[in-house]
């Protein structure tokens, strides 16, 4: 494996993944990214000029573009997606185009170009649906029972990957990971939104009663899991990745308040998200056994690093907030920032 096409490499996890690849391997990496509102070329601008890195602006649904880019490629790592549940509730269209149609175009072009593989598809724990508090964590053989347009579009992509493996023998490997946090996360997701609101002295909008549970993983641990699955994963297999760190949202918010020395009074309980999944939790024993992977960064260490990163990169998020994000926030929360 020498040449890798990474999609969505200007987003949160893709940026961290490409940085890891260029730091620890000598693959030639092409980054295909449409630069949507969530794709920020600034994230990875310092890599331009690196002899192993090329950036191409474009969409994964663009068959002609993608088929040209597949020439000479060995592996694909597909991060490109519309990724925010709340946006999918407002408008599912872009989720279907990118997450479903885009994945199929990548699979078709990969097969037509005769790439050796693997085709690593980055998926999410949300495809399994929601757990009750007393239920065991998700395993790879659980049924897919997605509840939001976002998770339904991701589950659809997983099934198209499965179909490519079964029908054509395309060497697909799927990773499903839990909630990531860390540097470069777009400030519409829980952790960066809460850090920034805290820093700016704004209210912290917690949905419902704040008791929904997520499993949290530091983004670098996720990237190492994707890399391990790309290099050691068995074609046709699914690997759960997670942080073994289940927390209620209110506990996450309280951690941020504590790290930033801010009062609990900033918390504002707001209207719940429709169809809000109660709990996600991952059984990661297959990845531990087969990929020799496990998460290394505990939540306290990861959160200290993350909070420090947002404090040290105020210009990065201020530029985002001053632009397109401001109108989205107003529309979503019914008030300005
Ligand atoms: P993100 O929204 O930060 O980044 C997505 C990137 O994809 C952006 O750079 C965007 O410009 C690009 N993109 C969007 N549509 C595109 C298109 N049609 N063609 C090309 N590029 C396009 O997302 P993220 O949080 O970095 O998530 C990356 C992947 O990981 C997604 O597939 C997501 O479903 C999955 N995932 C995310 C999490 C999480 O906690 N963030 C957890 C598990 C899995
Ligand atoms: P989010 O970061 O959107 O990730 P996901 O929905 O993919 O899990 O949300 C994480 C959790 O935080 C989820 O239970 C919804 C909740 N949440 C809030 O309570 N307030 C917010 O402003 C946001 C964005 C999320």
Are residue 33 and residue 103 in the same domain, yes or no?
yes
Q: Residue 127 maps to which CATH number?
A: 3.40.50.720
- Indicate whether 288 belongs to any domain: no
Residues with Cβ within 6 A of ligand 1?
7-8, 10-14, 32-36, 38-39, 59-61, 79-83, 98, 102, 122, 124, 154, 177, 179-180, 186
150 labelled catalytic: yes
Q: Find the 220 Cα to ligand 1 centroid distance in Å.
A: 15
In short, whether 154's Cβ falls inside 6 Å of ligand 2 is no
Residue 324, pLDDT > 70, answer no
Are residue 192 and residue 317 in the same domain, yes or no?
yes
Burial (Cβ within 10 Å: 0-12, 13-18, ≥19) of residue 301: exposed
What's the pLDDT at 337? Answer: 44
- Indicate whether 172 belongs to any domain: yes
Going by the DSSP 8-state scheme, the letter that residue 144 receives in this structure is P
| Residue 50: Cβ within 10 Å count | 12
Give the separation between CA 330 and CA 337, rounded to whole angstroms.
Answer: 7
Are residue 106 and residue 188 in the same domain, yes or no?
no
Distances (CA, A) of 162 to 166, 173, 238: 6, 9, 9
- Residue from 69, 77, 79, 102 to probe ligand 1 pocket by mutation (most atoms less than 8 Å from CB): 79
Q: Residue 175: name the closest of 320, 284, 305 by CA.
A: 284
Are residue 95 and residue 200 in the same domain, yes or no?
no
> What percentage of the chain exceeds 90 in pLDDT?
94
The band of 54, judged by pLDDT with boundaries at 50, 70 and 90, is very high
Are residue 234 and residue 198 in the same domain, yes or no?
no
Q: Find the 261 Cα to ligand 1 centroid distance in Å.
A: 32
What is the per-residue DSSP string for 253-307? HHHHHHHHT--GGGEEEEPPPTT---B--B--HHHHHHH-------HHHHHHHHH
Name the residue at shortest CA distance from atom 1 of ligand 1.
11
- Indicate whether 36 belongs to any domain: yes
- Residue from 38, 44, 63, 83 to probe ligand 1 pocket by mutation (most atoms less than 8 Å from CB): 83
- Indicate whether 166 belongs to any domain: yes
Residue 315, pLDDT > 50, answer yes
188 labelled catalytic: no
Are residue 118 and residue 160 in the same domain, yes or no?
yes
Are residue 59 and residue 197 in the same domain, yes or no?
no
Closest ligand 2 atom number to CA of residue 252: 12
User: Choosing from 53, 128, 150, 310, which is the catalytic residue?
Assistant: 150
Per-residue model confidence as pLDDT tens digits over 98-150: 999 999 999 999 999 999 999 999 999 999 999 999 999 999 999 999 999 99
- Indicate whether 208 belongs to any domain: yes
Closest ligand 2 atom number to CA of residue 253: 19
User: Choosing from 33, 108, 125, 277, which is the catalytic residue?
Assistant: 125
In short, whether 212's Cβ falls inside 6 Å of ligand 2 is yes
Per-residue model confidence as pLDDT tens digits over 75-97: 999 999 999 999 999 999 999 99
Average pLDDT, the chain: 96
In short, whether 87's Cβ falls inside 6 Å of ligand 2 is no
Q: Residue 307 maps to which CATH number?
A: 3.90.25.10
pTM listed for this prediction: 0.97
Q: Which domain holds residue 130?
A: 3-180+218-241
Which backbone phi and psi does 14 adopt, to 5 degrees? -60, -40
Are residue 143 and residue 45 in the same domain, yes or no?
yes
Residue with tokens 């310092």: 46
- The answer to whether the CB of 227 falls within 8 A of the CB of 292 is no
Are residue 160 and residue 42 in the same domain, yes or no?
yes
Number of domains in the chain: 2
Residue 333, pLDDT > 90, answer no
User: Choosing from 61, 82, 108, 126, which is the catalytic residue?
Assistant: 126
Per-residue model confidence as pLDDT tens digits over 221-270: 999 999 999 999 999 999 999 999 999 999 999 999 999 999 999 999 99
Closest ligand 2 atom number to CA of residue 84: 3
The band of 158, judged by pLDDT with boundaries at 50, 70 and 90, is very high
Are residue 19 and residue 81 in the same domain, yes or no?
yes
- Indicate whether 337 belongs to any domain: no
- Indicate whether 105 belongs to any domain: yes
- Indicate whether 44 belongs to any domain: yes
Closest ligand 2 atom number to CA of residue 207: 19
What's the pLDDT at 331? Answer: 62
- Kindly state the helix (H) or strand (E) to which residue 29 belongs, with its residue range: strand 28-33
CB neighbours of 253 closer than 8 A, spacing ≥ 6? 190, 194, 204, 206, 210, 267
What's the pLDDT at 288? Answer: 98
What's the pLDDT at 323? Answer: 78
What's the pLDDT at 334? Answer: 55
- The answer to whether the CB of 154 falls within 8 A of the CB of 126 is yes
Are residue 210 and residue 81 in the same domain, yes or no?
no
Are residue 65 and residue 36 in the same domain, yes or no?
yes
């Amino acid at each position: 494996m020498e040449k890798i096409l990474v999609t969505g490499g200007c987003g949160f996890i893709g940026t961290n993944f490409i940085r890891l690849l260029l730091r620890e391997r000598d693959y030639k990496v092409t980054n295909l990214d449409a630069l949507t509102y969530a794709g920020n070329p600034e994230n990875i601008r310092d890599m331009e000029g690196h002899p192993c890195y090329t950036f191409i602006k474009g969409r994964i649904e663009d068959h002609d573009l993608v088929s040209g880019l597949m020439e000479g490629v060995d592996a694909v790592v597909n991060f490109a997606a519309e990724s925010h549940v709340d946006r999918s509730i407002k408008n599912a269209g872009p989720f279907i185009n990118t997450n479903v149609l885009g994945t199929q175009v990548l699979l078709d072009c990969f097969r037509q170009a005769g790439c050796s593989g693997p085709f690593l598809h980055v998926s999410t724990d949300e495809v399994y649906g929601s757990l009750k508090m007393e239920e065991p964590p998700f395993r790879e053989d659980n049924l897919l029972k997605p509840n939001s347009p976002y998770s339904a579009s991701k589950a659809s992509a997983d099934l198209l990957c499965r179909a490519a493996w079964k029908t054509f023998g395309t060497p697909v490997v799927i990773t499903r990971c839990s909630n990531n946090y860390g540097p470069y996360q777009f400030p519409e997701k829980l952790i960066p939104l809460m850090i920034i609101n805290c820093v700016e002295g704004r209210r912290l909008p917690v949905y419902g009663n704040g008791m929904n549970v997520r499993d949290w993983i530091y983004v670098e641990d996720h990237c190492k899991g994707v890399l391990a699955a790309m290099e050691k994963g068995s074609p046709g297999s699914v690997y759960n990745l997670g942080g073994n760190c289940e927390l209620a949202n209110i506990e996450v918010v309280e951690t941020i308040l504590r790290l930033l020395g801010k009062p609990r009074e900033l918390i504002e309980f707001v209207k719940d998200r429709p169809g809000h999944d109660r709990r996600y939790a991952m059984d990661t024993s297959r990845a531990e056994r087969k990929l020799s992977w496990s998460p290394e960064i505990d939540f306290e260490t990861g959160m200290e690093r993350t909070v420090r990163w947002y404090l040290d990169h105020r210009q990065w998020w201020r530029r985002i907030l001053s632009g397109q994000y401001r109108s989205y926030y107003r529309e979503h929360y019914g008030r300005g920032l």
